[in-house]
Structure 1
């Protein structure tokens, strides 16, 4: 049984927002790197801020992308051992692992927030923004993964990834 109504709409909104954030981050990163390459190769100009911006964008993309991968059930894992277990044992193991993952993500959230608040006063060398905004990627990503882990337990994903085909939206 899959929940309907507001919970389903909230799940859909989170999946679309997180997926689109990953796409935007990837786009920004590609544009910045291409700007660096063209600027250096064609015009002989090196933008001092580009490499740093690309790196920080990649950090945010990785953490938010982790939430998207978790929800689409695409995190890498070894299934060779569980594939031979009965269905009931597999479901039990998945629930235990989901619980352990939730605890780990909660710790990551609180510790990441602690680091961002306590150590985020320094500024980055090129962009001159406080590290707080960079360190915030950890608690934001952990919170996003916790949200996606919750929804994964109660309903199927909106976005389904088929390794044989392209990404497709699940329709009813």
Structure 2
């Protein structure tokens, strides 16, 4: 059941991230087109594109972690004994779980602290774009928790032939 939930959550978050990246593409095309054809672009479009890119990365990070697609040094896991490998995997899982939980909490607290300030272009509370940080870290925490202390998929190197 947890594997099914994890797979569903990974697909959902990657889909949302892909949708956000598509929106960024439209924002940037509009900004470039309006600069070219109209001579100016609204300043808030650049800000909106920046916040949307950050949101796409934060929302999709959990699915990338579960699939083993993030950058990490994993060759040590393949060079040690089975018992040592289990200890390393458990340590990595526990450390990731603790750090993502802490970051979810700290970013939630930070979000509340910046609510009095507004963004320069959109003129909205800074809490709105910052809200994606506790959401992203909480999703990553949930994905790590659902994965449990088991090895992540190993990256493969493909030949260029």
Asked whether the two chains share a fold, i.e. TM above 0.5, the reply is: yes
Q: Does 1:95 align with 2:98?
A: no
Q: TM-score, length-normalised on structure 1? A: 0.81
Encode CA deviations 1:128-166: one digit per residue, 9 max, x unaligned. Answer: 111111111211111010111122227899xxx9775xx
- Secondary structure at the aligned position of 2:75 is classed as coil
**Higher relative contact order (CA closer than 8 Å, sequence separation 6+):** 2
Alignment match, 2:146: 151
CA RMSD, 1 decimal: 2.4
- After TM superposition, list the pairs within 5 Å mapping 1:9-158 onto structure 2: 9-153=4-148
Unaligned runs of 5+ residues in structure 1 are 165-172
- Figure out how many residues of one structure are paired with residues of the other and give that number: 157
Q: TM-score, length-normalised on structure 2? A: 0.86
Q: Where is the helix percentage greater, Structure 1 or Structure 2?
A: 2
Contact 1:123/1:130 (<8 A) preserved: yes
Moved more, 7-16 or 116-125: 7-16
Contact 1:120/1:135 (<8 A) preserved: no
